[in-house]
Structure formats: structure tokens, C-alpha cells
Amino acid sequence: METGLPAESQAFPLENEPQYSSCAEGPKTQGVKTDTLCSICNRLDEDGGHLFFKCKEVKIAWRERNLEDIRCKLLEAGSARGVMEVILGLQGKEQLTVTLLLWTWWDESNKRREEGRSRSPSEIAYMAAAYAANFLKTPQRELLSENRQRPRWKKPAEGILKLNSDGAFREGSKDDGWGFVIRNHQGQVIRAGAGREEFLLNAFHAEFLGCAAGSLQEAARMGISRLDIETDASLVKAAMASNDYRLSEVGGIITEMKLLLATDFSSCNISICNRVCNGVAHSLAALCNFPSGQIAI
């Protein structure tokens, strides 16, 4: 069925069954021992209805996007088929945001269970909204062409420098390694650096702190006036392009970044790139096992 939604977002576990089924029901009926705890709130006998609509944390995510009424309708649907009928009855951006919120929450559940990584419900809600906004802005033909070719880092125009930055957050120790690289129109490295910050809140905090504390401040110290910024974190661009995040836990850092861009740069453009194109900054960010401070290269 054609829905006009991203292909990856059409694969979350709501099958056409009469009632919500346990996420572990299939293996259980085959005599395999499974963990039926909710990976989010540790409730026993997790099922699709609980994971997506009843869990105390997922309710926060729905309310962050002002979708509480839709959550109630989906919960009242009572079955996977009913949920799909409600979603297909929604229109435009609302349908896309709901679908991406479900997909992002399912991805978060898997990461918590398998990798021990966790993000706050508010962060998940912001990510779903950012994904929806980016998808709506992307022409379908451009989206298809990108899927057919391997993404590559692109040189900036002559007279402009391009900055790539990335952060690597570690949930257990709550610290972050960040890295950046600045290159010219010939692809030559003008400056690169890496650093480490401690006592962070989450990955959202890490991305902004790495970008503000490391790369932008270094570019300003070098006297760079025209700059293109590339990041693989869509939340960074979304937060810099609007005021929706000013009251979030990283609102102060976002305000600092906006002020720095307005006062120290004559022109600056922020864009999102594939993680493959951000490989140098990502590798530098992975070097986070040294004392706090910056290492310039």
C-alpha cells in the first residue's frame, strides 16, 4: 500500500492481528525463553499497545508533540489493524509525524535492550519532528537519487571553509568525545581538533556541546568569516533554525551558538550530511579517552 512515508518507517511491529500481541509471543510459542520486560519501564508482559501508547515514558513523547488526542485514539483502536486504519486516516505532516514517532520509539526500545543506550522521551519526540520536517522538505526525486549512489563529502565553494563536527556520547560514564575538521575548497585540512567533556545529560547535549565548545569557537578564533557547517545530527540544524528548543536542557548552549554565529561570521550555512561524509569528525570524536580539554591538530 502506497502511503508516501519513508520506507524504513513502515516497518514497526504492528501486524494485522485481532489484538495487540506480545513482542515476544512468537518465540514463546516455540518453547524459547524470552525476556518480556518492557525495555523502557521494566513492566512485565510487554505488548505493542503498552510499548507505543501506555508506557509512562512514551506518553511524555506524545505530549511533547501535542499528539495526546491521537495517542488516545490509537489506544482505543484496540488492535494493530485498527491502529493502521487510524494512521491512514490522518493527513499530511500529522500522519508523517505519528508514523516517525512510532518508528523512532521502536528503534529506541531496541537500543535500550541491546546496547544499553537511552535518550529522554523529549529527545525522541524532537527527533521524530525533525525527521518529519526534513522529509517534507526533500523532493522525492532527490531522495531516490541519493539512495542509488554512495554519498561523498563535497568541497565548499571557493572562498568558503567547510566545518564538519561530531560528538560521541557514552551513556555509562556520561561523558562525550567531540571532534571537528575544517577544510577549504580544495579539500585541504586547515584545522582539526578533538576534546572531551564530562557530566553531560544525553547525546543531544553532547552534540551541541561539541559543536559549540570545540569547532565553532576554534573557527571564530581563527578569524574565519564565511563558513559552511555540516553535521550528521538533524537535531542540531532543527534547533538552530527555530526557537522550539530554547526551553530544552541545552537551550543555553543553543543560544550561545546562535550569538556566536551572528557576531563572528559574515555568512554561515548549516546542513545535514550522511554519516559517511562525516567520517573524519566521527573518528576524532571517538578519541575521548584523554583528560578534559582540547587537542588541536
What's the whole-number mean pLDDT along residues 30-55? 68
pLDDT band at 114 (very low <50, low <70, confident <90, very high): confident
The pTM (predicted TM-score) of the whole model is: 0.50
Residue 153 in domain: no
pLDDT at residue 59 greater than cutoff 50: yes
What's residue 108's pLDDT?
A: 83
What residue spans of the chain are helical by DSSP H? Answer: 25-29, 48-49, 56-64, 68-77, 80-88, 92-115, 121-137, 140-148, 203-210, 217-221, 234-241, 251-264, 279-285
Residue 98 in domain: yes
The set of residues, in sequence order, having a beta carbon less than 8 Å from that of 102 and lying 6+ positions away, is 9, 12, 14, 52
What's residue 15's pLDDT?
A: 43
Share of the chain above pLDDT 70, in %: 73
pLDDT band at 45 (very low <50, low <70, confident <90, very high): low
What cell numbers appear for 97 in the block?
A: 509525524
When divided into structural domains, the chain yields a total of: 2
pLDDT at residue 243 greater than cutoff 70: yes
Tell me, yes or no, whether 120 and 204 share the same domain: no
**Which of 210, 294, 209, 221 is closest to 252 using CA atoms?**
209
Tell me, yes or no, whether 184 and 138 share the same domain: no
pLDDT at residue 72 greater than cutoff 60: yes
Mean pLDDT comparison of 9-13, 122-126, 161-165, highest-scoring range = 161-165
110 vs 185, which has greater pLDDT?
185
Tell me, yes or no, whether 68 and 172 share the same domain: no
The answer to whether residues 255 and 243 touch, using CB atoms and an 8 Å cutoff, is no
What's the whole-number mean pLDDT along residues 139-168? 75
Tell me, yes or no, whether 65 and 102 share the same domain: yes
What's residue 120's pLDDT?
A: 83
Torsion angle in degrees (nearest 10) through CA of 130, 136, 142, 143:
60
Tell me, yes or no, whether 170 and 141 share the same domain: no
CA distance 182 to 232: 15
14 vs 226, which has greater pLDDT?
226
Residue 26 in domain: yes
What's residue 198's pLDDT?
A: 75
Identify the domain boundary among 148, 175, 195.
148
What residue spans of 171-278 are helical by DSSP H? Answer: 203-210, 217-221, 234-241, 251-264
Q: Which domain holds residue 82?
A: 9-148
The number of C-alpha atoms within 13 Å of 1 and in the hemisphere containing its C-beta is 6
List pLDDT tens digits, range 198-219.
777 777 777 777 676 567 888 8
**Which of 165, 178, 161 is closest to 233 using CA atoms?**
165
CA distance 74 to 158: 52
137-141, 145-149, 252-256, 280-284: least confident range = 145-149
The answer to whether residues 254 and 240 touch, using CB atoms and an 8 Å cutoff, is yes
What's residue 25's pLDDT?
A: 45
The mean pLDDT value of the chain amounts to 76
Residue 1 in domain: no
For residue 297, the one-letter residue type is I
What's residue 39's pLDDT?
A: 64
The answer to whether residues 74 and 85 touch, using CB atoms and an 8 Å cutoff, is no
